[in-house]
Amino acid sequence: MADETQKPGWEQRLNEAAAHMDQDVRRLVAYLNDEVVPEVRRNGTDALRAAARELNRIAERMDERAGRTPPPPGGPKQP
């Protein structure tokens, strides 16, 4: 019979812990959405721009070594 009296307390503690975990997960998701994602997006675009500049420099060096004239800035025009 001792197990029956302990069970409700154990279940209650488990339910409380689950509720706290749910709140913590919601706060974590909100933090990620509000703080982390925008920062990654800002830094991500900077990283892509830096990579594009470096790729352009590499392409220019390859053109120079091949004796070709590099295309004008802005790249080739699409029809």
How does pLDDT run across 16-33, given as a tens digit for each residue? 999 999 999 999 999 999
Q: Indicate the pLDDT class of residue 46, thresholds 50, 70 and 90.
A: confident
Task: Confirm whether 21 is domain-assigned.
Answer: no
Task: Confirm whether 39 is domain-assigned.
Answer: yes
Task: Confirm whether 35 is domain-assigned.
Answer: yes
Q: Would the pLDDT of 71 be above 90?
A: no
Task: Confirm whether 62 is domain-assigned.
Answer: yes
Q: What DSSP line would sit under the chain, residue for residue?
A: -HHHHHHHHHHHHHHHHHHHHHHHHHHHHHHIIIIIHHHHHHHHHHHHHHHHHHHHHHHHHHHHHHTPPPPPTT-PPP-
| Structural domains in the chain (count) | 1
Q: Indicate the pLDDT class of residue 72, thresholds 50, 70 and 90.
A: confident
Domain of 40? 26-70
Residue 76: predicted pLDDT: 58
